[in-house]
A and B are shown apart, each in its own frame.
Chain A
Amino acid sequence: MSAPRSSLRTAGVAVRAMLVLTVVLGIGYPLALLGAGQLALPAQANGSVVSVDGEPVGSALIGQSFADADGNPLPKWFQPRPSAAGDGYDGGASSGSNLGPENADLIAAIEERRAQVAEFDGVDPDEVPVDAVTASGSGLDPHISPVYALLQVDRVAQERGLAPDDVRALVESAIEAPDAGYLGDSRVNVLRLNVALQELDG
């Protein structure tokens, strides 16, 4: 067989193989998993939606901002981490800041956030934990550290006229242990905590 003819034959095989594999792997496979997910694991497959009184208020996995229209934090809610996704927690535009360790903008932002959190929560700047002054990789981090959650107890309790001990107990019950006891860090899901807070507040 001559080289050009043989190449042409190979090209034909390649085209047919690619098309058949596209049908199997590109249509059959995702649809099979779609069926499995929608039938057997609908809650997860549809985004772990959190509802209050039957109305969806977000996803347990996607952080959301608790700020006014100008981006100022609302003092009666527990606050999440800083976010670089859009204007903050934009679920349509996940993003980290991608600022490097010596970037002047990042250094300035950390100083500003530390001062802001210290004033907002009425604590010493040295007490502000690292997750309160750094943006997450996704910009949608649903969690904060237990330290940061506990730091916010007094402010939230005061704003809502609740007993600080009740709010602290709420936070402590919201602390999630690492997976299987040792995978990852302890954490608090901000949306779930705020949902529980709203229930406590009546």
Chain B
Amino acid sequence: MDVLSSVLQFGTLALILALLHRPLGDYMAHIYTSTKDLRVERGFYRLIGVDARTEQTWQSYLRSVLWFSAVGLLLLYLLQRAQAILPFALGLPAVPEGLSFNTAASFVANTNWQSYSPELTMGYTVQAAGLAVQNFVSAAVGLAVAVALVRGFARSRTGTLGNFWVDLTRGTLRLLLPMAVVAGVVLMVGGVIQNLNGFTEVTTLSGATQTIPGGPVASQEAIKNLGTNGGGFFNVNAAHPFENPTAWTSLFQVVLMLMIPFSLPRTFGRMVGDKRQGYAILSVMSFFYVASLTILTLLERAGAGTAPQLAGGAMEGKEVRFGVFGSTLFGTSSTLTSTGAVNSMHDSYTAVGGMMPMLNMMLGEIAPGGVGAGLYGILILAIIAVFVAGLLVGRTPEYLGKKIGPTQIKLASLYILVMPTLVLVGTALSFAIPGIRDDVESTSIWNPGNHGLSEVLYAFTSAANNNGSAFAGLTANTPWFNTALGVVILLGRFLPMAFVLALAGSLAAQDTVPATSGTLPTHRPLFVGLLIGVTVIVTALTFFPVLALGPLAEGLL
């Protein structure tokens, strides 16, 4: 019965995503290629002072991305620092400096790592007018960069990649906002709250008192999933019944997380004029998704480890209404995208089960990845894969009619190196610097032993990949973690974006070469297999040693 219902749930999800893939993918291709502006958009462009018909070079596009994000960072920081004088602050004081920086960096970079407990720290104005705004626009920025890369492949002999402000506006107004409105209403039907009630006290049935929280939750919940952001309105995120009241709302939220990333390969295929290329990418994404979900589900069902064995199952940190499969489905979807929302506590997963969310992120979040970020991430790996294939047969590699030369490989390599460097250096420094090590061990780590290393490793993996989920036992609201994770989040977001845009610029400038009999077809199963292999090798070789010290040691010893 359990197995059957799990298969049916997965089947439902797969069917919904399959039905959405085409129309949504085509719609996004339309948004990003249309030459017509809506009237409201024309007004917006006039207001902010841009000419929508101006094309930008990659440098100019990048400069716009960085300025827009820097302004967002500053505004969000100031909003938190000014909390005491904002309306609907619930009497909460200004957010401290270090935490404000960490949170601002985290939300601007589509990460939504939360070093704080929201119900004790953030009033409604900061949540709705600060955090949720970044949930929209950071997602739209990710989409814009992905689209710019696709344009790099699709165009030839041009110096330009489109206009960032147009891409930002269309992604926000034509895609995310209307979908978020619909999703928010659906979530409210399921019981997600949307009010400004603050905390109310009730006398419970047995005569005690209980605090019931309020808040504009549905509006935030909708976009946090749709934009693969993941920041919870409450401390326990989507495990909170007011964020995620029942099993169907949980499945619905999984759909929200996955619908855009899984439809983007279609958009990509449309924009490069060969839908089969999109299906090849989609196959790789789906392979990792199904494999990871299956492994985690089997591990959590088996419930290995002393505590789960003693309890009779791995239900510590899981909700009855979701059960094991509802939890593993959500956890897998959240960490294979850049969402990082949780409906169960990953810190309490079985030892090897808890490694799976980490591995999902360590793959570089490409199956299907965050909105936009997943697509450009997997296209970078595709470039590495054609390069490897080119080495094997001794030919200059090509992808989608573009020669993959030294410039492209250098940029792709730099992209690949950023994330593991940030994860491993950040984790290592946490234990290598004497004063910090003491603080990490005495203040931050919650579970002793190997599991404690896993908590720190998870934190840096989550930050560098802009995921935002956590082994939440870790107390991260310390000077070290607020600073280190904040910096890692920013570098993990914007360095790769810079490399992607530079790569896009170099591709757009090239001529498109016709395919010959010597060209490796990149839409066939052979290439799909090659890309899967390259992805696994890049990941496993990098992270196997540290995983052996953390979750593998805990689970196998």
Contact = CB atoms under 8 A, between A and B. Distances in A.
Interface of A: 6-7, 10-18, 20-22, 24-27, 29-30, 32-34, 36-38, 40-41, 44-49, 52, 55-59, 61-67, 69, 74, 77, 81, 89-103, 106-107, 110-111, 114, 129-131, 133-145, 178-180, 182-185, 187, 191, 194-195, 198
B68 A18 contact: yes
A16 B248 CA distance: 40
Nearest to A188: B320
Contact of A16 (B48, B136, B210, B239): B48
Nearest to A133: B311
Contacts of B351: 100-102
A48 B312 CA distance: 32
B319 A25 contact: no
A134 B314 CA distance: 9
Given A130-B311, A137-B343, A33 B181 contact: yes
Contacts of B413: none
A12 B189 CA distance: 41
B195 A47 contact: yes
Contacts of A45: 188, 193-195, 218
A64 B130 CA distance: 32
B242 A27 contact: no
A18 B319 CA distance: 38
B320 A22 contact: no
A41 B189 contact: yes
Contacts of B315: 130-131, 134
A52 B203 CA distance: 11
User: Most A CB atoms within 10 A — which of B9, B348, B351, B471?
Assistant: B348
15 contacts: A17-B68, A26-B129, A36-B184, A47-B212, A58-B205, A91-B199, A92-B199, A94-B239, A98-B345, A99-B316, A100-B348, A134-B318, A182-B4, A187-B320, A198-B205
A190 to B, nearest CB: 10
Contact of A183 (B49, B248, B316, B473): B248
B323 interface: yes
A64 B168 CA distance: 44
User: Most B CB atoms within 10 A — which of A69, A98, A99?
Assistant: A98
B272 interface: no
A21 B242 contact: no
B240 A48 contact: no
Given A64-B206, A110-B307, 10 more contacts: A44-B191, A61-B242, A62-B241, A64-B205, A95-B235, A96-B239, A136-B320, A137-B348, A183-B248, A185-B322
A15 B165 CA distance: 12
A18 B136 CA distance: 11
A31 to B, nearest CB: 8
Interface string B239-272: 1111001111011000000000000000000000
Interface of B: 4-5, 8-9, 12, 44, 47-50, 60, 63-64, 67-68, 70-72, 75, 117, 119-120, 128-130, 132-133, 136-137, 165, 168, 172, 177, 180-181, 184-185, 188-197, 199, 202-206, 208, 210-214, 216, 218-220, 222, 234-236, 239-242, 245-248, 250-251, 304-308, 310-323, 326-327, 342-345, 347-351, 354, 446-449, 451, 454, 471-473, 554
Contacts of B235: 93-95
A20 B165 CA distance: 13
Given A33-B218, A66-B206, A101-B306, A25 B49 contact: no
User: Most A CB atoms within 10 A — which of B64, B311, B349?
Assistant: B311
* 3 residue pairs, one from A and one from B, having the closest CB atoms: A184-B247, A101-B305, A98-B473
A188 B239 CA distance: 17
A98 B317 CA distance: 7
A56 B47 CA distance: 49
User: Most A CB atoms within 10 A — which of B8, B60, B242, B446?
Assistant: B242
B63 A10 contact: yes
Contact of B236 (A17, A59, A137): A137
Given A44-B191, A57-B204, A137-B344, A30 B128 contact: yes
User: Most B CB atoms within 10 A — which of A6, A44, A139, A183?
Assistant: A183
Nearest to A146: B320
Contacts of A66: 204-206
A102 B306 contact: yes
A100 B67 contact: no
Contacts of A10: 63-64, 67
Contacts of A38: 194-195
Given A12-B49, A66-B206, A143 B321 contact: yes
B132 A30 contact: yes
Contacts of A102: 305-307, 351, 447, 449, 451, 554
Contacts of A114: 310
B402 to A, nearest CB: 28
A20 B316 contact: no
Given A10-B67, A61-B241, A131-B315, A29 B307 contact: no
Nearest to B247: A184
B185 A36 contact: yes
Nearest to A52: B205
A44 B67 contact: no
B219 A29 contact: yes
Contact of A138 (B130, B181, B236): B236
B211 A185 contact: no
Given A21-B172, A99-B447, A178-B247, A34 B196 contact: yes
Nearest to A18: B71
Contacts of A92: 119-120, 199, 211, 213
A55 B204 CA distance: 10
